[in-house]
Amino acid sequence: MTATLTTAPETTPSGGAARTRRPARAGRLGRASGLGLGVAMLWFSLLVLLPLTAVVVTASEAGWSGFWRTLTNEQTAAAIRLTVGCAILVTLVNIVMGTLIAWVLVRDHFIGKRVLEVLIDIPFALPTIVAGLVLLSLYGPDSPFGVNVANTRPAVFLAFLFVTLPFVVRTVQPVLEELDPEVEEAAASLGASRFTVFRRIVLPSLTPAIAAGAALSFARGVSEYGSLVLLSGNLPFRTEVTSVRILSSIENDNLPGAAVVATVLLVISLAVIVALDLVQRRIARRG
């Protein structure tokens, strides 16, 4: 264990050196790789690009007024407000708790830390419908300590909190691992308090990672569906989220209406992807 830890810093400079040489080694497409790219793009287009385009095109067929009428439908507007509001709230909680969890996982040492690492990943791997059932067993009608949030708005919040748990932790953790504690020690020895050290030294280097994690967590929250099915009761105007609204449009054979609402979610996803790309480029420039 100690051996792997002591060799770890040596791998970083060589990795860094390889990265600076990168522009020279990216090759041009040959015959085989060109064919590979063609096949990959065809598959990607058939699977992802064409279907997502179909959503936007179908939505636009409703025309601007139809588009607007669907979105301003009271029930749909309430669902979008609830989803976005809850996702913002959960993202704020994740920014604080995710950073704190990453901090404890990297800087603190105690027995059972490996167990926490596994717990962080569980929401990512657990089927969403099972996640809903899991939360229902502790915070539902059979709760061992009498907290029943089933079919209420806090249930939506709770479900979002569960499924978005890993994102901020997993983006902040590697950055925190790479930070050199000597800079913090220097600041501390010059009389900075622990809070000042965190705010002036640690936080600025973590900000891009926190932003990336927050963006992912927001996107995941907005698009969540499976964990809510059993937990929130999907009551119109109260606990119905956007994805549930889209599904009920599909089930009522109102595909154009579903496509309009789906387009709103797609725009949010795209905005998050663009933001992530920008943040990652900024990290790469710095690194």
Partner 1 sequence: MADHRTHRRRRGPATYVFRLIVVAYLFLLVAWPVSLVAQNALEGGFGNIQAILEDPDVAHALRLTAVVALVSVAINTVFGVGISLLLVRYEFPGKRALSALVDLPLSVSPVVVGLSLVLVYGGRDGWIGPTLEDLGLRVIFSTPGIIMATVFVALPLVIREVVPVLEEVGTEQEQAAASLGAGPLQTFRRITLPSIRWALVYGVVLTLARSLGEFGAVKVVSGNVLGETRTATLVVEEKYLNFDRPGAYATAFLLALVSVACIVIVSIIRPKERRT
According to CB under 8 A, which residues from 89 to 128 bind partner 1? Answer: 97, 100-101, 103-104, 107-110, 114, 116-128
Phi, psi of 163 (to 5 degrees): -75, -20
Among 214, 220, 239, 240, contact with partner 1 (rule: CB under 8 A): 220
Nearest distance in Å: CB 273, partner 1: 5
Q: What is the DSSP string of 34-98?
A: HHHHHHHHHHHIIIIIHHHHHHHHHHHHTHHHHHHHHHHSHHHHHHHHHHHHHHHHHHHHHHHHH
Of 37 and 200, which CB lies nearer to partner 1 in the complex structure?
37
Helix (H, G, I), strand (E, B) or coil at 112: coil
Of 226, 207, 224, 223, the closest CA to residue 99 belongs to 207
Site for partner 1 in 169-198 (CB under 8 A): 174, 177-178, 181, 185, 194
Q: What is the dihedral of CA 279, 171, 48, 124, to 10 degrees?
A: -160
Stretch in the footprint of partner 1 (CB under 8 A) among 62-70, 136-144, 202-210, 232-240: 136-144
Is 146 near partner 1 (CB under 8 A)?
A: no
Of 100 and 235, which CB lies nearer to partner 1 in the complex structure?
100
Of 24 and 72, which CB lies nearer to partner 1 in the complex structure?
24
Is 285 near partner 1 (CB under 8 A)?
A: no
What is the distance between the alpha carbons of residues 164 and 280, in angstroms, rounded to a whole number?
Answer: 20
Specify whether the CB–CB gap between 122 and 207 falls below 8 A: no
Is 286 near partner 1 (CB under 8 A)?
A: no
Among 183, 203, 267, 270, contact with partner 1 (rule: CB under 8 A): 270
Among 137, 199, 203, 252, contact with partner 1 (rule: CB under 8 A): 137
